[in-house]
Amino acid sequence: MNVADSGHMAGILKQDGYEITQNEAAADVVLLNTCSIRDLAEEKVFSKLGELKERKVDEPNLVLGVCGCMATNLKKGIFKRAPYVDILCGPRSSKHLPRMINDVFEKGRSQVEVEPNEALEEFLPSVRESAFKAWVNITQGCDERCTYCVVPNTRGDQASRQPQSIIDEIKGLAEQGYKEVTLLGQTVNAYGLELAEPYPFSKLIESIQAIDGIEWIRFVTSHPKYVTPDFIEMFAKFPKVAPFLHLPYQAGSNRILKRMARRYTREEYIEKINALRAACPDLNLSTDIIVGFPEETEEEFQETLDVYKEAQFDSSFCFKYSQRPNTPAMNFKDTVPEAVKKERLERLLALQKEIAYVRNLKNLGKVHRVLFENVGRKEGSLRGHNQYNQVVISSGGPELIGQFRDVLIVENSPMTLYGEIKN
Ligand code: 5AD
Ligand code: SF4
């Protein structure tokens, strides 16, 4: 999501005549696109700002902006810790950037646009790194209000783009040679529900399935609550829907799930992934988990491990609970000591590794479809992703970049597969 947002920021500025540089020291305008999801993410930005402050001494005209979720989360509070920042621009306000940069020179510092519910732009220009894989934002914001999460505050309520605008953008991408699209939304599978004329996610996927040139469709992040029969059926019905799903469960205990306001039980979650695996037997499943949520007991953490074992995830992102300002969970005391959070995280990561290793063994001797993206670290090698969204390395020349090939998998490591191109 943040990479895609940075692409939009670059696209908006480029359209206005700015040039994007990879050389930070040469930039006249430095915009940090930030994340507020955990405290550590914000602290990293303050330390980067401290570094940039030094440059301002010799280059008083350097324009420094804090964009993204920290801008809407901390608002002018950022000026308290970093008074030398010129621009605060929230995740839904990027279209104002060209004007704000001008205003820094014409009207003075401290330009601020931090309305989390700013009206949705149907289409934003984008600078994309890849010429064949594209991220496409289909919703902004989130209506879920999970109690630990800052996103509804920083990105506002859910607003979906019109289906036709998304389809036109993807048709345009296909014409330019794009082969894979990843649809983005905080709860991507709740797409279209709040539109004046509700438009189901599965119908949107059906329309994208019909676009010539697009061969793989992915989407992140799905919420278990919106895993409905038509959503499950997509994996069997639409061949372009890649057999990969990121479906956070966050915690295994029903009491904790309730306190998180996740709005499903452990049993419902398991039932849904069983149905998904019945529709798509080779589905690759990944998830997000939080350990050490307020009052989580050892037994409740055990339930998180039990769900992991039962669901047999291929990969996961695991986090220690981090208390966020202005979230409903601020009303709960952050009771689990840091050392216990750390120890639970380590146990979870050990389980993750063990299960991923065993699940990965089944890939040996199989042929995967791979879209090659760039040259590998070793000379004469190529790197890409298979249909399951796993990294695959194979020998091959750069002329194959941007192309699909069938690859025989011959070697495994926990995160990467190694193979030989068959045809
Ligand atoms: N503390 C720890 N992890 C969090 N996440 C969201 N909010 C918090 C928080 N306060 C995690 C969730 C979410 C992922 C993007 O970040 O697991 O799915
Ligand atoms: Fe945050 Fe929950 Fe919305 Fe995800 S679904 S962005 S965790 S509030």
Nearest CA to ligand 1 atom 18: 288
Separation of 251 CA from ligand 1 center, angstroms?
Answer: 11
Q: What residues form DSSP beta bridges with 29? A: 63
Report the 3 state secondary structure along the chain: CHHHHHHHHHHHHHHCCCCCCCCHHHCCEEEEEECCCCHHHHHHHHHHHHHHHHHHHHCCCCEEEEEEHHHHHHCCHHHHHCCCCCEEECCCCHHHHHHHHHHHHHCCCCEEECCCCCCCCCCCCCCCCCCCEEEEECEECCCCCCCCCCHHHHHCCCEECCHHHHHHHHHHHHHCCCCEEEEECCCHHHCCCCCCCCCCHHHHHHHHHCCCCCCEEEEECCCHHHCCHHHHHHHHHCCCECCEEECCCECCCHHHHHHHCCCCCHHHHHHHHHHHHHHCCCCEEEEEEEECCCCCCHHHHHHHHHHHHHHCCCEEEEEECCCCCCCHHHHCCCCCCHHHHHHHHHHHHHHHHHHHHHHHHCCCCCEEEEEEEEECCCCCEEEEEECCCCEEEEECCHHHCCCEEEEEEEEECCCEEEEEECC
Q: What is the pLDDT of residue 413?
A: 85
Separation of 38 CA from ligand 1 center, angstroms?
Answer: 7
Separation of 213 CA from ligand 2 center, angstroms?
Answer: 32
Q: Is the CB of 146 under 6 A from ligand 1?
A: no
Q: Which CATH architecture group holds 2-113? A: 3-Layer(aba) Sandwich (3.40)
Distance from CA of residue 23 to its chain's centroid?
Answer: 25
Task: For CATH 2.40.50.140, list the domain ranges present in the chain.
Answer: 367-421
Ligand closest to Cα of 225 equals 2
Out of 3.40.190.10, 3.40.50.1820, 3.80.30.20, 3.20.20.70, which CATH number does the structure's domain 133-361 have? 3.80.30.20
Task: For CATH 3.80.30.20, list the domain ranges present in the chain.
Answer: 133-361
Q: What is the pLDDT of residue 256?
A: 98
Separation of 320 CA from ligand 1 center, angstroms?
Answer: 8
Atom of ligand 1 nearest to the CA of 317: 17
Atom of ligand 2 nearest to the CA of 221: 4
Tokens of 71: 């801008």
Residues making up the chain, counted from first to last: 423
The whole-angstrom separation of Cα 286 and Cα 243 is 11
Task: For CATH 3.40.50.12160, list the domain ranges present in the chain.
Answer: 2-113
Average pLDDT of each block of 10 consecutive residues along the chain (423 residues)?
96 97 95 96 96 93 97 97 97 98 92 97 96 97 98 98 98 98 98 97 98 98 98 98 98 98 98 98 98 98 98 97 96 96 98 94 96 95 97 96 97 90 90
Does residue 156 contact residue 201 with C-beta atoms inside 8 Å? Answer: no
Q: Which CATH architecture group holds 367-421? A: Beta Barrel (2.40)
Does residue 422 contact residue 367 with C-beta atoms inside 8 Å? Answer: yes
Where do we find the tokens 């539109």? 195
Ligand closest to Cα of 36 equals 1
Pocket of ligand 2 (CB under 6 A): 142, 144-146, 149, 151-152, 186-187, 223
Separation of 129 CA from ligand 1 center, angstroms?
Answer: 27
Where do we find the tokens 């995740």? 91
Separation of 250 CA from ligand 1 center, angstroms?
Answer: 8
Tokens of 310: 């039962």
pTM value is 0.97
Q: What is the pLDDT of residue 423?
A: 80
Q: What is the pLDDT of residue 414?
A: 75
Q: Is the CB of 372 under 6 A from ligand 1?
A: no
The whole-angstrom separation of Cα 217 and Cα 213 is 11
Ligand closest to Cα of 293 equals 1
Q: What is the pLDDT of residue 284?
A: 97
Nearest CA to ligand 1 atom 14: 288
Does residue 124 contact residue 4 with C-beta atoms inside 8 Å? Answer: no
Q: Is the CB of 148 under 6 A from ligand 1?
A: yes
Q: Is the CB of 216 under 6 A from ligand 1?
A: no
